[in-house]
Every structure is written in structure tokens, then in C-alpha cells.
């Protein structure tokens, strides 16, 4: 991390403002009406799109660090694909994450 | 239970209802337990990448948004710019705009302190619980929403504290694959919810654009990927609506034929 202590505090303060603004936006009395249906439909895609934009590079294009250099298979890719497969079968997030992590740890330590 | 349903309709929001409070807390417990690992992850990851314990806890106390916190920690670890962290926070928490728009009509008559407090604890979990309670009792209960929201807030912060303690005591926690834990968490949040083709398109386009941006070192790849994914999904939704109508009429005709 290259950010200084002060800039981390600034980041936390700004993030707090952003998340609160999103939550409070339509609860102010200044807003005359709610969101239109097309805007609601559009916003409903934010979660899957933004979360995928973050997990896809970790799984499919991981930066192989020194500690994983010696491994013959890439633990991020293999455990990632396993986790995706698992989440197609079950809906239980706890099970998916626990099993995915177990696969990752297993692949990094016992190879 | 009839005891809570028979409460007067026009009740002052300042009147404290013990039963509602108790129900709000117990209803929130399963989701609260489910969030403990993420809280631990947020706390320990923050320590691991170099935040001090106060900053790590302050993030959960004031930002109070799991996905946005994890994403910003991920960006901080990679020395991402302040602008990229703010943009990702805004994009990830944009779904809360939806929630506040939905509960708007039920809370806009309440005093400012109520609306501010409700907004502060408005999370995916609190929104889900409050709407489930509304469906059962046929009215939105601000007491219920507020108390379940703060119960969740409490659990989130205690589990963050646990993560901070772990992170300061066990060095090299990242060797256990904390970055992968973020990926696994996000996969578990996204993939089981792909129930229609527009959502699938949002995920596929977003993934491909994110990977292409990383491959060709295009800056702001995450934002670019999110934007294109959302636009593609929206277009697909409009397209499927138009086609869906035609298919709908066809299938009813087919059904008649079968009969």
C-alpha cells in the first residue's frame, strides 16, 4: 500500500459520505419523486456487473506471486472454476465460500 | 402472533415496542451469523494491507458496506488511486439507491432523525428483513427496520474487531489466500443469482471487458467493465421484453392446442 495514514483516513471519510448519500438519497424531503422504472431496471444490474469486474481478473488472470511460483497448476484458476461450478449447484453462500477456500488452500499447500 | 398485529395502526414512531424489538433481533440472527466471516475477512485484510487497527474498525463503523469495503481494500492493496476507490464505492453501493427509493413512501413522513438513522443502517440484509416483515404484517414498521438494521451493524462491527485481532496476531494471513477469499465471496454473491439472460449478459460482458482491460493495461478497467456490462444487460432486457411478449402469445396458443 502506498497511501499515507492521512490519505487512508480521507479515503474512509469520503467512502462513508458516498455510502450514506446512496442510502439517504430518496429519504430526503427534497426529492420530489422516486426512481423511474427504466432507472430501477438499469440499477438492478450494478451488483452482478461490478462484483464480476472484480472477481473475474482474480480468477482468470491472477498475478502469480513468488509463493505460488513453484506450483504446477494455478490455484486461483482451478479453485475459482471449482467455486463457480459449486455456485451453480447450491445457493448457500457459506458452503460455496468455505469449499472454495478449502480448495484454494489445498491447492497451494499440497501440490 | 396476534399480539403484535393488533397494535394500533396509528402508532407514534417514538413509542418503543419490546416485542417488535425482540422479533427484529431474532429474525436478523441467521443473516448476522452468515456475515461473520466477511467481517473477519474485512478486519484481517485491512490489517494485512497496512491499515492501522483504528482505521480498520472505522471503516466498518462508518462505511458499513461489506462489498464496497472489500473492493476498496483490494484497490488499496494494489495501490489504486483515490479516484478509483471512490468510483468503485459509488458503483457498488448504487444499489442502495434502489432500496431507499423503495422504502421512501413508508418513511418520508418520519422526522429527520428517523430517516437519517434508517438510511445509516440500510443494507441488503436489513432491506430484505424489513420487506419480509412488511409482507407478513401488511405495513412497514420503522421500529423493526431500525432495530434489525442496528443488530446487523453490531454483528458486523464485532466480527470486524475479531478480524483485526486475528490480523494483528497472525502475520502473513494473506498466504491463506485472502484475495481468493474476496473472489470466492463475490462469485457466491453473483453466480447463484443469475436467473435470467440479461443478468447472465451483465456478468459475461463485465468479465470479458475486465479481462481485456487487464490484458491490454487499459486504465479504469473495473469501471469500464461495469458500465459496459450494465448497458449490455439493459439492452438485452429491453430486447427480451419485446420478444417475450411475442413468445408469450405463442405459448398460450400452444397450450390451447395441447388441450
- The set of residues, in sequence order, having a beta carbon less than 8 Å from that of B131 and lying 6+ positions away, is B102
Neighbours of B144 (CB within 10 A): 25
Query: A45 at the B interface (CB within 8 A)?
Result: yes
Is residue A42 domain-shared with residue A5, that is, in the same domain? no
Are A45 and A24 members of one domain? no
Looking up cell 487499459, which residue turns up? B218
Q: Which of B90-99, B106-115, B166-175, B197-206 has the lowest mean pLDDT?
A: B166-175
Residue B151 burial by Cβ neighbours in a 10 Å radius (0-12, 13-18, 19+): buried
Asked whether residue A26 falls in the same domain as residue A15, the answer is yes
ipTM topping 0.90: no
Q: Choosing among B191, B199, B219, which should be mutated to test the A contact, i.e. which has the most A CBs within 10 A?
A: B191
Residues 54-73 of A with CB under 8 A from B: 54-61, 67
Q: What is the mean pLDDT of the segment spanning B35-61? A: 91
pLDDT in tens, B72-92: 998 898 878 899 899 889 988
- Is the domain of A1 the same as that of A27? yes
Tell me: do A49 and A99 sit in the same domain.
yes
- Name residues of chain A where pLDDT drops below 70: 34, 64-69, 111
- Shared domain for A23 and A44, answered yes or no, is no
pLDDT of residue A62: 82
Per the CB < 8 Å rule, is A84 touching B211? no
Rounded Cα–Cα distance for residues B193 and B21 (Å)? 31
Which pTM was predicted? 0.73
- Cell digits for B89? 464505492
Please report residues of B whose CB lies closer than 8 A to that of A90. Answer: 192
Q: Are residues A30 and A45 in the same domain?
A: no
Tell me what the pLDDT averaged over chain B comes to: 83
pLDDT of residue B255: 39
Q: Are the beta carbons of B119 and A34 separated by less than 8 Å?
A: no
pLDDT at B53: 96
Is residue B143 over pLDDT 80? yes
Shared-domain flag, residues A49 and A9: no
Chain B residue numbers touching A46 (CB-CB < 8 A):
91-92, 94-95, 226, 230
Band of residue B48 on the pLDDT scale cut at 50, 70, 90:
confident
A36 inside 8 A of chain B by CB: no
Domain shared by A23 and A61, yes or no = no
Average pLDDT, integer, range B147-158: 96
- Residue B230: pLDDT over 80: yes
Contact A12 B97 (CB under 8 A): no
Which among B85, B118, B190 is the nearest to A48, CB-wise? B190
Closest to B156 measured CA to CA, from A19, A83, A84, A106: A19
For residue B256, what pLDDT is reported?
Answer: 36
Is there a contact between A105 and B177 (Cβ–Cβ < 8 Å)? yes
Amino acid at each position: 500500500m502506498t497511501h499515507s495514514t492521512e490519505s487512508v483516513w480521507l479515503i474512509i471519510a469520503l467512502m462513508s459520505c458516498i455510502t450514506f448519500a446512496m442510502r439517504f438519497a430518496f429519504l430526503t424531503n427534497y426529492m420530489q419523486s422516486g426512481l423511474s422504472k427504466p432507472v430501477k431496471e438499469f440499477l438492478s444490474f450494478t451488483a452482478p456487473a461490478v462484483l464480476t469486474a472484480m472477481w473475474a481478473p482474480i480468477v482468470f488472470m491472477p498475478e502469480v506471486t513468488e509463493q505460488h511460483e513453484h506450483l504446477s497448476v494455478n490455484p486461483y484458476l482451478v479453485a475459482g472454476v471449482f467455486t463457480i461450478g459449486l455456485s451453480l449447484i447450491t445457493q448457500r453462500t457459506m458452503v460455496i465460500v468455505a469449499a472454495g477456500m478449502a480448495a484454494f488452500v489445498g491447492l497451494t499447500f499440497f501440490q | 402472533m396476534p399480539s403484535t398485529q393488533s397494535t394500533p395502526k396509528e402508532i407514534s414512531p417514538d413509542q418503543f415496542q419490546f416485542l417488535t424489538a425482540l422479533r427484529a433481533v431474532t429474525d436478523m440472527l441467521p443473516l448476522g451469523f452468515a456475515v461473520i466471516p466477511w467481517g473477519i475477512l474485512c478486519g484481517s485484510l485491512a490489517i494485512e494491507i497496512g491499515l492501522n487497527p483504528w482505521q480498520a474498525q472505522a471503516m466498518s463503523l462508518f462505511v458499513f458496506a461489506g462489498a464496497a469495503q472489500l473492493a476498496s481494500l483490494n484497490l488499496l492493496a494494489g495501490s489504486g488511486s483515490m479516484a478509483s476507490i471512490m468510483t468503485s464505492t459509488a458503483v457498488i453501493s448504487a444499489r442502495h439507491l434502489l432500496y431507499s427509493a423503495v422504502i421512501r413512501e413508508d418513511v418520508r413522513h418520519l422526522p429527520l432523525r428517523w430517516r437519517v438513522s434508517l438510511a445509516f443502517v440500510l443494507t441488503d440484509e436489513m432491506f430484505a428483513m424489513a420487506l419480509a416483515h412488511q409482507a407478513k404484517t401488511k405495513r412497514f414498521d420503522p421500529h423493526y427496520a431500525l432495530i434489525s438494521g442496528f443488530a446487523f451493524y453490531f454483528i458486523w462491527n464485532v466480527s470486524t474487531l475479531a478480524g483485526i485481532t486475528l490480523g494483528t496476531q497472525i502475520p502473513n494471513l494473506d498466504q491463506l489466500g485472502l484475495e481468493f477469499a474476496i473472489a470466492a465471496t463475490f462469485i457466491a454473491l453473483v453466480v447463484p443469482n443469475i436467473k435470467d439472460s440479461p443478468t447472465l449478459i451483465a456478468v459475461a460482458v463485465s468479465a470479458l471487458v475486465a479481462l481485456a482491460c487487464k490484458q491490454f493495461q487499459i486504465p479504469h478497467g473495473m469501471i469500464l467493465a461495469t458500465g459496459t456490462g450494465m448497458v449490455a444487460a439493459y439492452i438485452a432486457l429491453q430486447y427480451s421484453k419485446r420478444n417475450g411478449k411475442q413468445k408469450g402469445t405463442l405459448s398460450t396458443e400452444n397450450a390451447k392446442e395441447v388441450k
